[in-house]
Each structure stands twice: as C-alpha cells, then as structure tokens.
Structure 1
Amino acid sequence: MTGVPRAALILGLAGVVPFLWGALTLVSDPLATFGQGAFGSRFIGPYVQLSYGVVILAFMSGVLWGFATKATGPRATAGYALSVIPALWAFFMVGGGPVSAGTNLIFGFVGVLLLDWQFWRWGLAPVWWMQLRAPLTALVVICLAVGVFL
C-alpha cells in the first residue's frame, strides 16, 4: 500500500477491528464469553458487526459527499446523489435477522467500493484511495461473511 498516508492506513485498519472482533466472537466461545462479560452482549458476534456496519456505511456516505464537493455542474449533482446511497441502504436494508442484515451489509460495502471507484475515476478521491479502500472492504466483507455463513 505504497502511497497511502500512514495515518489513513492505521486508522482504516483500526476501523476493521469491530468487524474482526465480531467474527472472532462468533467462532470462539471463550472470546464470546469474555466479550460478553467485559463489554456486554451488544459488543459481540453479529450485534457489534451490524450496528457498527450501519455507522460505517453512513460515515462512507459522508466521505463521498465530501468528494462530491470537489465537483461542479452535473457531476456534482451526480456525486451528491450517489453519496447518499450507502446511508440510505443501511437505513432501509439492515434490519430483520442477523443473516439478512449481514448479507445486506455485505452488498452495501461492495456497493460503496464501486462508488469509491467511480469517485476516484472522476478524480475526486485521492490517487491512493483505491489502494486503501479495496483491501479494507475485502476484510470487512470476510468478517461479515462469518456471521452470514455460520
């Protein structure tokens, strides 16, 4: 990940920790027991993944909105319209049981990666943006898949 600012890389990887923690507590009873005792049931398994996933999709909408501010004319209009999709997706599609919510979050994160790519292609995102976003999205999707397929 050459070219990605160190702070962005470190903070981006730190942002994956709740997804990873949720996946680990799904596959490890001792970690789940520890997590429930230390943090409460809201911070283990799918609960932490789903609530945090909604927050992060909304955050990514804000990031895309920020990129859209660099555009003008019809591209700015398209950018603003596209930037709200991840937050709306999280609001409308993440509900029901943990499997359907997790599945919809996976689709949401893949979708936001496609939007990232489009904003990057338009020159609105930093040149290193996709070097950061692609591996982070892969990690998030893998972690969410643990909850969906177990």
Structure 2
Amino acid sequence: MLTARIPASVLFLGLAGLLPFVWGVVTLYSDPLAARTVELIGPRFIGPYVGLFYGSVILSFMSGVLWGFATKAEGQVAATGYALSVLPALWAFFMTGGGPASAAVALIAGFIGLLGLDWLFWQQGLAPRWWIKLRLILTVGVVVCLWPVAF
C-alpha cells in the first residue's frame, strides 16, 4: 500500500503546508530575512515562533482529520477512533509551554505520535490508501524543521 500514488493536488497542498515551518528555519539562520519579516509582519512570524505556533495549529487540525476518519467506523472502533483523535490537539495544548526548545521537543514527539495514529487509522482502512505515504513525507519535513529549535 505504500506504492499508492498520492494525488498531485494533495501532495502540493501538503508540501505547501510545510512553508511556515521552513520559513521559521530560514529566519532562524538569516538575520536580514528575520529583520525584514519583523518589519513587514511582526516578530511572531520568524524563527522558532512561527514554527511552534503553526505546529500547535497543525496538530489541532490533524485531530479534526482523524475525527473525520473515525466517522467511517462503527461501534467500538468508532468510539476508540474518536477518543484517539483528540490526543494531538490535547498534546499541543498541554505540552508546548516552557520555552522554545522544550516546546519544539514536545511538538516533535507530538508529530511522531500523530504518525502512529495515522498508521492505525490507515491500517483500519479509515484513511485513503496513499495517506501513510503522505504523512511520512510531511512528518519528516516537520521534524527536520523543528529540530534546530529543539536542539
């Protein structure tokens, strides 16, 4: 099933969703770009701040995606799916305080945990055949971008 082709529009939008993470890394290492960004749109959109805030938003968004997958199930599988689907949002809410490095570590752990949930929903046939392939690509991208903030 890892050979399932990701629809082009889905892959494009998924990769576009990595842009705030990438921008955070770029402005972490480029003082001129960071200064220009602060001047144009504010300090929340540079360095670790953009990646950490956006990472929390995306984990919450992914809770909604998993909830949607759970609607395809019935009985105990659905109930378990609904319960598991709220974990990424709760993780982001409770675990991302305490400074940039600890928040980045928590987000990395959250995205890796999310990948496990993605796999579980995919294995149960609740997600599209190409889902796990897409999530592997995007999870690697997110972890690579959060890594410099964490360590």
- TM-score band, normalised by the shorter chain? over 0.9
Compare 129-138 and 27-36 and name the one that shifted more: 27-36
| TM-score normalised by structure 2 residue count | 0.95
Pairing 1:141–2:106 present: no
**Rounded Cα–Cα distance in structure 1 between residues aligned with 2:124 and 2:73:** 9
**2:41 pairs with 34, 39, 42, which one?**
39
RMSD (Å), alpha carbons: 1.1
Pairing 1:102–2:104 present: yes
**Rounded Cα–Cα distance in structure 2 between residues aligned with 1:121 and 1:127:** 9
| TM-score normalised by structure 1 residue count | 0.96
**Rounded Cα–Cα distance in structure 1 between residues aligned with 2:41 and 2:27:** 12
**2:29 pairs with 27, 30, 49, which one?**
27
Supply the AA of the counterpart residue of 2:34. Answer: A
Q: Deviations over 1:55-102 (max 9, x none)?
A: 100000000000000001111011001000000000100111001111
Is 2:4–2:129's contact at 8 Å kept on the other side of the alignment?
no
2:85 aligns with 83
Structure 2: any 5+ residue segments left out of the alignment? Answer: none
Post-superposition shift, 1:32? 1.1
Percent sequence identity over aligned pairs = 62
Post-superposition shift, 1:138? 0.2
**Rounded Cα–Cα distance in structure 1 between residues aligned with 2:85 and 2:103:** 21
2:68 aligns with 66
Supply the AA of the counterpart residue of 1:125. Answer: A
2:118 aligns with 116
**Rounded Cα–Cα distance in structure 1 between residues aligned with 2:39 and 2:84:** 41
Number of residue pairs the alignment of both structures matches? 149
Is 2:104–2:147's contact at 8 Å kept on the other side of the alignment?
yes
**Rounded Cα–Cα distance in structure 2 between residues aligned with 1:130 and 1:29:** 36
